[in-house]
Amino acid sequence: MEQLREWRSRIAAELEAVVAFWERHSHDPEHGGFFSCLSRDGSVYDDTKFVWLQGRQIWVYSRLYRTVPRFRRPELLEAARKAGEFLQRHVRPEPGSTRAAFALRRDGRPERLQRSFYSEAFCALGLDELGRAAGEPRYRLLGDPKRDPPSEPDPEAEAMVEWGARHVLMHLQRGDSVVLENVSPEGEELPGSLGRLMNPGHALEAGWLLLELSGRRGDADLGARAVAGLVEGPLRWGWDPQHGGLFYFLDADGHCPTQLEWSLKLWWPHAEALVALLAAQRLQPRPELISRFLHMAQFTFDKFRDPEHGEWFGYLNRDGSVALSIKGGPYKGCFHVARALLMCEEMLGDILDKEEIKE
């Protein structure tokens, strides 16, 4: 357990360093909101503001402020407030729209709209957490109270959670030995390379989310299936035996994937793996899960962490060398790294506390 204590301290220090990087470099003092397109040293190379990354950073700041005493700093909440108010002013591409823009110019003018709902989802997630942290319901109001009638909590919400869990499990195929990125609406394997596509990062993320759900419901069967098929499985078939690390994409039959970036090592699957391993350990305490976590943590910190400028590189070549030196862009912001470090610090605390009780 001494190694876990050391890693808990190291992860806590890294969380502080990561948040400090974004505090130093990403804030827009003129218009509010955050820059995400940051070079290795934190300098801004593009001032476009991506709405889903705004919502994600608001969530990180607000969650840290609300739940971690050492982050209960007024300036952190104030930065989240300014970003939240920036979104509330500018997120709709036109007045009355029920959509959110995907990208905004620095001053908030809409630049791009996408068909996906990632902007809406993470805008709501961030503002909801900001409302909780600030104790102000106005941040949690996205509708127009004069036009939209008040409503009670949607009774269908819990059914949607069940629907989501059921559909995640549909991607476990071939006797739960693989997790396919795409399946038919009926949960059947699709033909061709599209049907054989696997993404270890998505599988691991789905794994820890189902583990959270199983813990909340006390569903041991769901938890066991998630550990075996969505945590241990992806770590087995997704690991690069030659250079280490998780592949971005793989083919279930061993063919070369058609995605040009298939062999890259990205930051977020490794962050999700750390969370998934500790979530699995909390449910099924086993020495091999701890060993795997220690190995994954060492690889991730050695390869992705930038000791000179702070934060993590996002994109590595297959051999672990840096492919892109940027620290942020349209897809990488202040979210996956900080969230993983926060969750790992909390879970390691729980695991160590239980071990002390046993002793």
The answer to the question of residue 20 being in a domain is: yes
Q: Are residues 338 and 281 in the same domain?
A: no
The answer to the question of residue 150 being in a domain is: no
Q: Give me the number of domains the chain comprises.
A: 2
The answer to the question of residue 168 being in a domain is: yes
Q: Are residues 132 and 38 in the same domain?
A: yes
Q: Are residues 124 and 168 in the same domain?
A: no
DSSP letters along 296-331, please?
A: HHHHHHHHHB-TTT-SB-SEE-TTS-EEE--S--SS
Give the confidence band of 97 by pLDDT, cuts at 50, 70, 90: confident
pLDDT of residue 113: 83
Share of the chain above pLDDT 90, in %: 87
DSSP letters along 85-140, please?
A: HHHHHHSSSSTT-SS--SEE-TTS-EEE--SSSHHHHHHHHHHHHHHHHHT-GGGG
Q: Are residues 343 and 282 in the same domain?
A: no
Q: Which domain holds residue 132?
A: 1-144+328-359
The answer to the question of residue 283 being in a domain is: yes
Q: Are residues 127 and 170 in the same domain?
A: no
Least confident of 52-66, 82-96, 152-166, 273-287: 152-166
Q: Looking at residues 22-33, what average pLDDT do you find?
A: 98
Q: Are residues 242 and 336 in the same domain?
A: no
From residue 327, how far is each of 35, 111, 288, 311, 320 by CA, in Å? 11, 22, 33, 7, 16
Q: Which of 305, 320, 336 is the last residue of a domain?
A: 305
pLDDT of residue 157: 79
Q: Looking at residues 113-126, what average pLDDT do you find?
A: 90
Q: Looking at residues 274-294, what average pLDDT do you find?
A: 97
pLDDT of residue 239: 99
**Is the pLDDT at 146 greater than 70, yes or no?**
no
Q: Are residues 290 and 343 in the same domain?
A: no
Q: Looking at residues 148-158, what average pLDDT do you find?
A: 66
Q: Looking at residues 58-65, what average pLDDT do you find?
A: 99
pLDDT of residue 147: 53
Q: Are residues 278 and 358 in the same domain?
A: no
Q: Are residues 161 and 236 in the same domain?
A: yes
Residue 343 in tokens: 């969750």
pLDDT of residue 154: 72
**Is the pLDDT at 117 greater than 90, yes or no?**
no
Give the confidence band of 151 by pLDDT, cuts at 50, 70, 90: low
Average pLDDT value over all residues in the chain: 95
Q: Are residues 132 and 235 in the same domain?
A: no
The answer to the question of residue 294 being in a domain is: yes
Give the confidence band of 1 by pLDDT, cuts at 50, 70, 90: confident
List the CATH number of the domain containing 268.
1.50.10.10
pTM for the model: 0.94
Q: Looking at residues 182-205, what average pLDDT do you find?
A: 98
Q: Are residues 247 and 288 in the same domain?
A: yes
The answer to the question of residue 317 being in a domain is: no
What confidence tens digit (pLDDT) does each residue in 123-137 have?
999 999 999 999 988
**Is the pLDDT at 144 greater than 90, yes or no?**
no
